[in-house]
């Protein structure tokens, strides 16, 4: 939910099962109240919806993410899970829920060719400058505008 939906860790921890079954214009959606008490409706790609359903199991209401003791996960517990999984995967770099949410999500969107405005909306940033701050690959020459312009002029895009 952090890396693929761009949720903040507090948002992911507060997701309730009943909030994951909305439908809007043919899309299954997640509804939540985000930063600044702003409501958000987020489409759920099928693989994400399937994992959410697996996390819910037989439950049809209540918090989606639970700690090992059955209580609702909070941001500290989520951080421990992310750190533990990174260590298990032998990732030496410091990984946090925030780095998954902001840096990875924004960078992956931009690398996939999603326009900055759409990434800004998905990340729920009020200012596009905030979105570009999280783009770890902004110095990546592979997606430099020059290539897009030349492709456009040549008629290949």
| All domains in the chain, ordered by first residue | 2-154 (1.10.443.10)
Q: Is the pLDDT at 134 greater than 60, yes or no?
A: yes
Selecting among 8, 102, 103, 124, the annotated active-site residue is: 8
Q: What is the percent of the chain where pLDDT is above 90? A: 45
Based on the residue annotation, tell me whether 134 is a catalytic residue of this protein. Answer: yes
CA 99 to chain centre: 10
Selecting among 27, 35, 87, 117, the annotated active-site residue is: 35
Tell me how many degrees the CA angle 156-107-103 measures, rounded to the nearest 5. Answer: 175
Tell me what pLDDT residue 90 has. 94
The helix/strand/coil state of 145 is helix
Selecting among 25, 37, 101, 129, the annotated active-site residue is: 101
Based on the residue annotation, tell me whether 8 is a catalytic residue of this protein. Answer: yes
Selecting among 21, 28, 98, 136, the annotated active-site residue is: 98
Tell me what pLDDT residue 6 has. 87
Structure tokens, 134? 């999280």
Q: Given pLDDT bands bounded at 50, 70 and 90, which one contains residue 118?
A: very high
DSSP state of 73: P
Selecting among 102, 103, 124, 134, the annotated active-site residue is: 134
Based on the residue annotation, tell me whether 16 is a catalytic residue of this protein. Answer: no
Task: Report the distance separating Cα 63 and Cα 41, nearest Å.
Answer: 18
Based on the residue annotation, tell me whether 35 is a catalytic residue of this protein. Answer: yes
Higher pLDDT, 142 or 27: 27
Alpha carbon separation from 116 to 59, 111, 144 (Å, rounded): 38, 11, 13
Structure tokens, 47? 């693989």
């Amino acid at each position: 939910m952090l890396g693929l939906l761009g949720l903040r860790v507090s948002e992911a921890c507060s997701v309730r099962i009943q909030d994951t079954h909305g439908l809007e214009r043919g899309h299954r959606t997640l509804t939540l109240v985000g930063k600044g008490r702003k409501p958000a409706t987020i489409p759920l790609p099928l693989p994400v919806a399937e994992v959410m359903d697996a996390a819910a199991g037989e439950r049809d209401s209540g918090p989606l993410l639970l700690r090992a003791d059955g209580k609702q996960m909070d941001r500290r517990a989520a951080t421990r899970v992310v750190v533990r999984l990174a260590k298990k995967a032998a990732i030496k770099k410091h990984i946090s829920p925030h780095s998954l949410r902001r840096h990875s999500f924004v960078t992956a969107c931009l690398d996939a060719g999603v326009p900055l405005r759409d990434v800004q909306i998905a990340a729920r940033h009020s200012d596009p400058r905030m979105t570009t701050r999280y783009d770890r690959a902004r110095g990546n020459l592979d997606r430099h505008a020059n290539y897009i312009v030349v492709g456009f002029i040549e008629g290949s895009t």
